Every structure is written in structure tokens, then in C-alpha cells.
Structure 1
Amino acid sequence: MTHGAGSLDDVAGWALRYNDAASEWRGLIAGEDVGVAGLVDRWRDTFEEAQREERRLVAAGQWVGGPPTLLAAIGQEYREAAMTAALGWLLRPDGQHGLGRAVIDGLGAVVGVDVAGTVRVVLEEVRHDTRADLVVYGSGWTLIVEAKTFSSERPRQLDRIHELWGREAGPKFVFLTRGERQPVTARESADHWHNHTWRQVAAFIRAALVKKDAVTIAPGVHDYLMTLEIFHDA
């Protein structure tokens, strides 16, 4: 086996430092420093108490671990496409989520649009070489949503979206992000973009749930909401 330069000296150095630390620890245990040794004893008692509590919780089935939501378990909690698709699902008044019009009404209230009437939801609509993450078409109104979690904007992205969807009926452009984040590619179209957050989305979904019978709500609604509240409450 070939060792890099100085690797054996590094190992020897670690051994010396380990021996020094071990010697200091033995001194504490032996009571050379009574005050610190007392702290060590109390630390040991506390640790053993924590172990007993852990065993009690495990026996009662109350010790849990791992990701808190299904979306997190499958690695989708920060995926823009997945999070936006779930929002699009909830925006359909006829969707099997069980919330009816509550979510589209909530989004309309946030962006200041009367969303009454029929609704058509389109994900990742492409025009020329530009994609809009989510477009909701209504009767005399259109919501165009560019959603971000951590990714940055592509060159002229928001200006290009505005150019290509700006002639739709009553267009409203929504820049949906984690926390307050100002768009940087809306140079010519800055006045047409409205900044909103995933936290706001979570708030009107939560409000919608309060008004509905829990029995009729699809389990995915709760998982999506919990994912928003845990991972996107920035």
C-alpha cells in the first residue's frame, strides 16, 4: 500500500493527542478535579435516564424517526415540478382531493382575481422555447405561475413568460417562492409580476381544510400541506 507524504506522521500525531485526552479523562474519573468529576457523574446519570426514556417510548410505539411526510420520504419535498403539480391538483375544483373550489378561491383572493366560473389547469405549458410551470385558465382571467424552491431564474425567464402569455384573458403573473424573493429577470415586466410564497399557499390550504369534512379529504392533501408547513415555512 502506498501512503501519501506525511501520512504516517499524521497517524502518530493523532495517537499522541488521543493519549493526552485519555489521560485527562482518567484523571477526571479518578477525582483529581472533584468539581468536574461531579459534572461527569451527573452527565452519566442524565444519559442513563435518557436511555430509559428512549426504551419506554420504543416499547410504547412512540419513538419514531425518518422523514415526516411521504413527499420528503421519496425526495420530492423541494422538487419544483412535484410541488407545483400538487398545487395544480388542488386548484382543480372538480379534483378528487375533496376541497372543491376552496384552494382556487384562496389563490384568487391572494392575487386579487375573481376566479369564478370554469377552471382549466395546465402544468408545464411550453411556448416556443419557454415553459410556464403552471397556468390556470378561467372565464376572463388567467393565472400564470412561475414556481421556485431553490433554483435560480434562467436568462430573461420572467420577461419571456410575460411576452408569451401576456395576451391571455386577464393575465396575472405570480412568482411563487420560499420566503420573500424578488425576481431578477423581470426587467421589462417587473410591474406585472406579483410575489407570493409557499407559506401563503399553505395558509389558504389550511383555511380550506377547516371548512371541510375531514372524512372527504384525500390523504395526499394532508401530506402536501405538512410538507409545505415543515419544509417551506421560510
Structure 2
Amino acid sequence: MTPSEQLQRYWETTGAGHTFTHPLDAELLSRHVSFEARILDYGCGYGRLAAELAALGYHRVCGVDPSAALVERGLSEHPGLDLRRLAGLPLPFADGEFDAALLFAVLTCVPQERVQRETVAELARVVRPGGVLYLSDVPIQRDEHHQARYRAAAEWAEAYGVFGIEDGGVFRHQDPVRLRALLAEQGFEVAEEHEDPVPTLDGKVVTRLQLVARRRA
């Protein structure tokens, strides 16, 4: 089984039972995205953020995820949401179909460099000129616990910041400089960014990086 196949299997089995904890900053979102906006929640999982957006008054939200198990869970927990299982790229949407896209702790779950680049490029395609990409993810952490995890994965990991957890999951914390460059390469300009502490899947706390970027016209 290839690493990609192992990762896919994880999110159809063990990973599909996780409770995601990466929070939405509703105030930050409201400064850049109107309630009338057509929003794509890419990597929506079981619809946690899509449900929160609906409760806030954003009613034109489409959530997509490659995991059939997570989408099935989402449709069960949040009936009425527009959640779709889309196995891969490209997405079946027109160029510029969305006013905004959310990419929440998704790159953390996609350790492969190629897939990260393809993901951001595809979101650049479906977000209209002047539209917004709200990216929230975990940068490389400096504490010894995480540094030890990165070192332990050095022999097999594609990049520094990749690590495995006890249940078989593989994740990647991001180099912020590379992350900003990746956005710039795909035509996004960062309009606002913040760091704050957030809980993790295993009950710890990390510093996250939020980037709100606007697609150049």
C-alpha cells in the first residue's frame, strides 16, 4: 500500500471518528466575507464548520471532502447541509464560482508537497477574482514535544514538520514562509493574518496561523 493509499484509508476508518477542534474566527471571517457570499468549505470533514457557518447566517455554503465516511457522518449529524464527497481534483465547479473558500487544518492532513500545491491551485481557480481564501493551519511548533515528533519522522518524511501519531495518522505542520509563498504563487495576496492558541485532536494546545488572502483580479 502506498503512503497516499494509507492516508486515504486512515480518513475512511480511524480518522473519521475524530472530533475536530480547529476553531472558526467568526469575527475575522465577517470582516472579509459577506453573509450573501457563496462559500466553499474544502476539506469539510463531517460538516462542523459548515454547520457553524449556517448558524451564523451564511446560507450559501458547500462543503466537500474526499472521505466518504466523514461526509456520511456529516449528513447524518447535520441533515440539510450541502456536503459532498469528491474523491479528488479537479473540482466539478466553474472557474470563479465561489466568493470565498475555507481551508481549515486541511494542509495539516495533507503531508505531500505536490498535493498541497495542487489543492491551493484548484482553490485559486474556483474562487473569483477579488474573492477570499481563508486559510487556517498549524505552523511548525518550537516546543520540544513537537520537535521530537518531527525528528522521529525525519527518515521517511517528505518535509520537516511531518509527524505520525499513535493511531496511524500522518500530519504536517507548515513553514509559514513557504505557506505565504504558496499563496502568492497562486495569485493570492494576504490581507490579514493572526496567530492564536488552539486545541489539537489529542488534547494539547498549539499556535495556529490564520491567513485571509484575496485573489488578485
Query: TM class by shorter-chain length?
Result: 0.3 to 0.5
TM-score of the two chains, using structure 1 as the length reference: 0.31
* Larger gyration radius, structure 1 or structure 2: 1
The structure showing larger relative contact order (alpha-carbon pairs under 8 Å, at least 6 residues apart) is 2
More helix as a share of residues:
1
